[in-house]
Amino acid sequence: MSASDKAIQQQIIDAFNFRHAVKVFDPDRKISPEQFDTILEAARLSPSSFGFEPWQLLVVQTPEKRELFRDFTWGANGAFNGTEGQLGTASHFLIFLAHTDATMKHNSDYQQTFMKKVKHLPEDVIGFINQAFQKFQEHDFKVEGERQITDWSAKQAYIAMGNVMSVAALMGIDSCPVEGFEMDRTIDVLEQHFGIDPKLYKPAVMVALGYRADEPVFPKTRRSMDQIVQWF
């Protein structure tokens, strides 16, 4: 392995050790627009099953809009440690939405338009993908019904979220993934205050980004490699 390969390897491992779920950010430090563009680009370029990109991203920046989530976003409202939490201190706050069955069932308008306008695929290829995707949803992977299809979309959104956090860490930027919220009330707020139609999109996960206020209280622990990996 070359010296530069080794340096890259070390940089990656350092970034993964640096990343931890930050509970309180330094409210005075903001991510630069250029760095935040790179973070969004990491999400945009993320892989997805069949390449359908079944996610939307909301960047929630005004304190007023963030406060709408405070009562029921227990994973980011700081209630457990008496702080403003990630909602009140993060430089940037992202909400990943998952496409529902209305936008992600085979033959949906979104998919047909996506294949034509984004992928520029010819009609015969679109017909082939429609058939393959129908088989995938109904027979192979068994992703049918509103809940299953939305969950399947959310799985893809989590890949983008992972990339967002890893890329941020590589730039020395902190993050915290957030699943600690009430789904029903989040859907209501998104519909009433953000114009998100829950028939089309449902919240998947949130991510707060910024710079840590303090170093982590506990050292990182993980199972050992041999506890999680089996080679055959």
Ligand X SMILES: Cc1cc2nc3c(=O)[nH]c(=O)nc-3n(C[C@H](O)[C@H](O)[C@H](O)COP(=O)(O)O)c2cc1C
Q: Compute the least distance from the CB of residue 20 to ligand X, in Å.
A: 3
The correct pick among 21, 58, 102, 200 for binding ligand X (CB under 6 A) is 21
Question: For residues 52 and 181, which CB has a smaller minimum distance to ligand X in the complex?
Answer: 181
- The residue from 179, 193, 197, 199 that contacts ligand X (CB under 6 A) is 179
Helix orientation angle between 3-18 and 145-170, rounded to the nearest 10 degrees? 120
Residue placing its CB nearer to ligand X in the complex, 77 or 108 = 77
Rounded to a whole number of angstroms, the minimum distance from the CB of residue 161 to ligand X is 8
* Binding flag, residue 78, ligand X (CB under 6 A): no
| Closer Cβ to ligand X, 43 or 129, answer by number | 43
Beta bridge partners of 209: 92, 175
CB distance 178 to 206 below 8 Å: yes
Could you list the residues that contact ligand X (CB under 6 A)?
Answer: 20-21, 23, 75-76, 176-180, 205, 220
